[in-house]
Structure 1
C-alpha cells in the first residue's frame, strides 16, 4: 500500500502577514481551496480561510485578520486517521504539514488523499458493517471488540461516526459469519442496532409474529 506521505504537496511559497486580502481571495478561488497556510520566516502561524478573507478591505494586509487564523495541521509522521479527522473537524480541503520545528513543508489536499483512504482495510476489505448506538458514558470499544472476537470475527475497523447529545453512533466493520449471534450479544449489552441485517433473527421473529397477528385479525 502506498505511503500517505507520498501525497504531501511540497511547496515553499505560502502567505505571509503582508499578503493582501485580495491576493488571498484570488489564490483560494483559483485553486478551489477553503484555507491556506500563513507563515513568518517559514514558521507556521495558522490558516486563513476564504470566508474570512472576503470580509476584509481587500487592499489591506492579512495581518489585520491574525486573530482569525485557524490553527490546524499535521506532522510528517501523522497517521491517516489524524489527517481524515482534521479534514472533517475543520471543514477544510487542505491540511498543512509541519516539521518538528513548526516549519511548513507542504500540505495534503482532500481530493488527493481520498484514494488512499479507500485503500485502507476498513473501506477496501469485504466484510459486514454493523452500526450501533449507546450512551457515551456506557459504551466500551473493548467490550464491542470482545463481542465480535468471541464470535470468530476479525474487526477491520471501528469509527465513532457521530455523537448527538449523550448518544454515540459507532460503525464496526468486520469479517463475520456469525452476525446474528453478534447482534444478539450486542443487544444483551444494551446496544441499539441501527443497521439492518437479513440474518438478524430478532427482526425476523418480530416480522413473523406481526404477519401471524395480521392473519389472525383478518380471519
Structure 2
C-alpha cells in the first residue's frame, strides 16, 4: 500500500482566495486541524487552525496575509509505513501527497490512515493476542510461525517493539483463534517468556488448571 492509494476524495484544499473563516469551517466539518493551500497544482504549504487564530484576520483571504507555512508532505510512492511515521512524528491530522517536489496530488487524513492501520493489524478480525518478551538475538519469525501453525492456527498480524537501551524485544502476535491454550503451551515448551495474553476467561482458566495438574503429577512421581 502506497500513499497515492490512501488519498481522500472528500476533504477539499484551500486556495489563496479562501478566507480563514472558510478554512475553519472546513476543518470543523471534516474534523481535521490542518489543510493544504494550493495554487493551481502547486503545493504552497500546510495551514493549521492555530495559525488562523493567531492571525486575527479570519475574514480576509488567506493569500492576502503573511503566513509562515509549514510544508510537510509525502511522495505519492511512499509506503504506508513511511506515511504513518511522518504523520505520527509531526502530529498531523492530514498529510499532503505530491507527485514531485511541488505538484499537489491529494491528501491523506489521519482518520483514513487509522482505518488502514486497522486492516494492517487485523484489528476487527476475531482472534487472540499473545505478547512475548525475548532477546533480540533469539528472534526467529520462522520458528514463531511454525509454533503457531503447528497448533492449526495462522498469524493475522505481528508487531515488534524494541528499545535502544535494551537487548530485549516485545513481540505482539495476533492469531486467528480465541482459544490460545495449546499455542501458549507450545511457546512455553520452547522456553518463550509469555508476558501477557488476551483470551477469554474460561480458556485461561482451563490453561491454568492444566498447568496445575501437570505440576501435581510431577510432584507425585
TM over 0.5: yes
User: Which residue in 2 is equivalent to 1:215?
Assistant: none
Question: Which SS does the other structure have where 1:9 is aligned?
Answer: coil
Report the CA distance between 1:62 and its aligned residue: 5.4
1:10·1:106 contact (CA, 8 Å) conserved in 2? Answer: no
Root-mean-square deviation (Å): 4.5
Q: Distance in 1 between matches of 2:19 and 2:48?
A: 13
Q: Cα 1:40–1:6, aligned 2, differ >3 Å: closer, same or farther?
A: closer
Q: Kindly indicate whether residue 141 of structure 2 is the aligned counterpart of residue 145 of structure 1.
A: yes
Count of residue pairs brought into register by the alignment: 197
Instruction: State whether structure 2 residue 175 is matched by structure 1 residue 174.
Output: yes
Q: Deviations along 1:88-136, whole A, 9 cap, x unmatched?
A: 44443323222135411112234445555544573354433222456xx
| Separation of aligned partners in 1, 2:39 and 2:126 | 47
CA contact (8 A) 2:133 2:194 kept: yes
Q: Normalising to structure 1: TM-score of the pair?
A: 0.60
Task: Name 1:64's counterpart in structure 2.
Answer: 67
Consecutive unaligned residues in structure 1, runs of 5 or more: 213-219
Distance 2:37 2:162 in 1: 31
Tell me which of 201, 208, 213 is aligned to 1:204: 208
Shift of 1:42: 3.1
Q: Distance in 1 between matches of 2:189 and 2:50?
A: 48
Give unpaired runs (5+ residues) of structure 2: 217-221
Tell me what 1:9 maps to. Answer: 9
Partner of 1:194: 196
